[in-house]
Amino acid sequence: MGRFMDVALSEAQAAASRGEVPIGAVVVKDGAIIARAGNETRALNDITAHAEILAIRRASQFLCDERLTGADLYVTLEPCTMCAAAISFARIRRLYYGAEDPKGGGVHHGARFYAQPTCHHAPEVYTGIGEVESAELLKEFFAKRR
Amino acid sequence: MGRFMDVALSEAQAAASRGEVPIGAVVVKDGAIIARAGNETRALNDITAHAEILAIRRASQFLCDERLTGADLYVTLEPCTMCAAAISFARIRRLYYGAEDPKGGGVHHGARFYAQPTCHHAPEVYTGIGEVESAELLKEFFAKRR
């Protein structure tokens, strides 16, 4: 699990070097990475181009299936509400995330989407892997922007 | 407002004819439609390709801006939680939706995203325009599929 989060962290780092908010994600199926992405909202002029959305979209292209049943998603930061819902729609089996996001998270904060009656599939959620590295990347990025 | 919802309804109808769940959306700025879309989750193999997400993405391309400040979005069904959050991120000014969606909606049901402390921009929300036509389209579509 640590090695998959390491790849997500390297995607986050790559995003930072492009001037994007440093968040990275990978989708894993049967022990192999089938998609990886960093944030690309600025490059794509697309506010929905969060790392998770791009990784899910790429994994669906790879599998030719809009549902990623049995796949796991690793992301460096707690998914926002938009991404939490997309992860549910894609039928992700397990969600592993690094740092918590009290201001924008939608899993353990705010909308807590997986606990809503309108959520029809909830992944198993595991937290804390890569938490320190992920938080550090974000802190550095926003400190530089100020 | 009715004429913009009519265009959203025609996008929903076009989606149905392609075998997609009949939901349509348009983005309006300064009195003109700048983007329109119907659901394309099947065609694109992309569970995130809801009408609202596609319309927002196309409007951002058109304006070369990931934020749609001052733009309004018309959609035939209450947005799901994913789309409700995307609408917030895009800084949509006013959201007009047709039918309510108690099972999957994220505006007035379930996550009620705009009422969450993790929501940092909430559009003004107007409901009921085109409600009957929108509900009828969905009912017909799901009746045929059974």
Query: What does the pLDDT look like over A53-88, one tens digit per residue?
Result: 999 999 999 999 999 999 999 999 999 999 999 999
Is the confidence at residue A52, as pLDDT, over 80?
yes
Number of helices and strands in chain A (H, E): 5, 5
Percentage of chain A exceeding pLDDT 90:
97
Out of A56, A82, A113, name the one closest to residue B86 (CB): A82
* B108 is annotated as contributing to ligand binding: no
For residues B13-42, average pLDDT: 97
Interface subset of B 23-82, CB within 8 angstroms of A? 41-42, 45-48, 53, 56-57, 60-61, 64-67, 80-82
Which residues of A does the annotation mark as catalytic? Answer: 52
**Lateral strand order in the sheet of B32-38:** B32-38, B24-29, B72-77, B94-99, B124-127
Say if A122 is an interface residue toward chain B (CB within 8 Å): no
Residue with tokens 């790879």, as numbered in its chain = A62
Q: Could you say which DSSP state residue A99 is in?
A: E
Say whether A64 counts as a known binding-site residue.
no
Amino acid identity of residue B88, one-letter, is: S
Q: Is pLDDT at B1 greater than 70 in this prediction?
A: no
B24: nearest Cα among B93, B97, B102, B126: B97
The ipTM value here is 0.96
Q: Taking a C-beta distance cutoff of 8 angstroms, is the pair B56, B79 a contact?
A: no
Chain A / chain B CB contacts < 8 angstroms: 117
Q: Which domains does chain A have, with CATH numbers?
A: 3-137 (3.40.140.10)
Relative to beta strand A94-99, strand A124-127 is: parallel
B-chain residue closest to A59, CA distance:
B46
CB contact under 8 A, B110 and A103: no
